[in-house]
Amino acid sequence: MILDDGRETAVRVYLDHNATSPVRPEVAAALGGWIDTPAGNPSSLHAEGRAAMEAMEHAREQVAELAGVPSGSIVFTSGGSEAIEAAIRGVCDRAPSGLRKIVVGSVEHSVVFGAARAFASRRFSVEEVPCDRDGRVDPDRFLARVDRGTVLAVLQWANNETGVLQPVKEVGEGCRRAGVPFLVDAVQVAGKKPLGAAESFADFLALSSHKIGGLPGAGALTVRKGIVLAPLVHGGAQEMRRRGGTPPLPAVIGFGAAAEACLDNMKTESGRLLKLRARIETQLQELLPDIRFHGQAANRLPNTVNFAVPGIEGEMLAIGLDMAGFAVSTGSACASGAVEPSHVLQAMRLTEEEARGAIRVSLGWSNTLEEVNRFLAVLPEQVTRIREARQ
Ligand SMILES: Cc1ncc(COP(=O)(O)O)c(C=O)c1O
């Protein structure tokens, strides 16, 4: 970063917690001993193996508490994507004939569409339920598509790009009445809002360690008691035969420590992030009166802001901010070498051009008011710079 007086500094401001959240100090502390000393395989009988199993079961309790489910419901996976794929495949593989479709929200993460469509060509169609301009899926509209021919319903709790929260409880209760299994993608909401007794309406929840300040390489699928899933990884007896393979112990231990830290700090942290987010939104509105916020009228996570400045490409702005020392995301994803505008924003009726203008700021445990103030000072400068370069 170049300071006003021309000095260079390496201090960066990371505002991309929804992409991945930096490892929390509590996680680093919990991992210390496990990195330094040889750890056993939790399946081994010797003392090292027993200690590994004990540590893994402790992490299971910690993650279960965050998810609001009994520890026996937790199946450790390699991350959120695997958890989602395991539920979709696991339900579809065992589905009786006669079931025809998977019902999903239109703003799901691409992993949901990818896994669901992989089955569409074989046995099932995928029905997408549209959202409104603020990214909300109407529960009645969703449930109108859920019928006797539905094999599985999938809805995210919170969106990764806009932070918009979906009515998972209403939808889940309706699915339960209809006898249709319901998967909730809780990857973004976990650690940011209390999940309550989620199993009262959800059969499966997907969670991810690196989104809550743990290490990448671990995630969890919660599976409600009594539900039998075909495993995604066959062969091993681990995880009660629900996910074969040696578990990534350090990542699992870190996941547990991150879950505990999130729960301990949730109340104060969500109030703190809400204040930072409000500051960003009110200040940007003043500094850039033509700015547009996306999903602002909906109930949202306290940490996420998605906006566009008309006439400014999100990619240009993100690159400028990066060079100035700030990490943010755009509303586009790089697919096969081409930059595609976000399907989430397009589902919210933004045009392709408007979606290409989007910037996402996602805050987290590492961010301070001072960092937010620096961002608010730099962003308008970058907008002016891009506008002037065009003239
Ligand atoms: C809403 C949502 N679901 C699922 C995933 C996939 O999680 P993971 O990165 O752990 O595979 C992500 C990651 O960005 C996400 O934001």
pLDDT(355) > 60 = yes
What is the residue with the minimal CA distance to atom 9 of ligand 1? 80
69-74's contacts with Cβ under 8 Å and 24+ in sequence apart are 69/198, 69/199, 69/205, 69/222, 69/224, 70/199, 70/225, 72/225, 73/199, 73/222, 73/223, 73/224, 73/225, 74/220, 74/221, 74/222
Q: Which residue ranges form the domains of the chain, and what is each CATH number?
A: 13-23+266-390 (3.90.1150.10), 25-261 (3.40.640.10)
Q: How far apart are CA 91 and CA 242, in angstroms?
A: 13
Q: Catalytic annotation on 131?
A: no
pLDDT at 193: 95
What six digits make up the tokens of 306?
């998605």
Mean predicted lDDT score pLDDT of the chain: 92
Share of the chain above pLDDT 90, in %: 81
> Is any atom of ligand 1 closer than 6 Å to the C-beta of 329?
no
pLDDT in tens, 327-341: 999 976 654 455 789
Bigger pLDDT: 37 or 148? 148
| DSSP codes, 178-242 | HT--EEEE-TTTTTTS---SGGGT-SEEEEESTTTTS-TT-EEEEE-TT-----SS-S--HHHHT
> What pLDDT does 9 receive?
53
Convert the pLDDT of each residue in 58-80 to its tens digit: 999 999 999 999 999 999 999 99
pLDDT at site 1? 53
Tokens of 116: 């669901």
Report angle CA 355, 356, 359 to the nearest 5 degrees: 85
Q: What is the mean pLDDT of residues 82-106?
A: 92
Q: Which of 63, 76, 109, 168 to mutate to test the pocket of ligand 1 (most atoms within 8 A of CB)?
A: 109
Is residue 237 very low, low, confident or very high in pLDDT (cuts 50, 70, 90)?
A: confident
For residue 235, is pLDDT > 90? no
d(CA 302, CA 273): 6
CB 109 near ligand 1, within 6 Å = yes
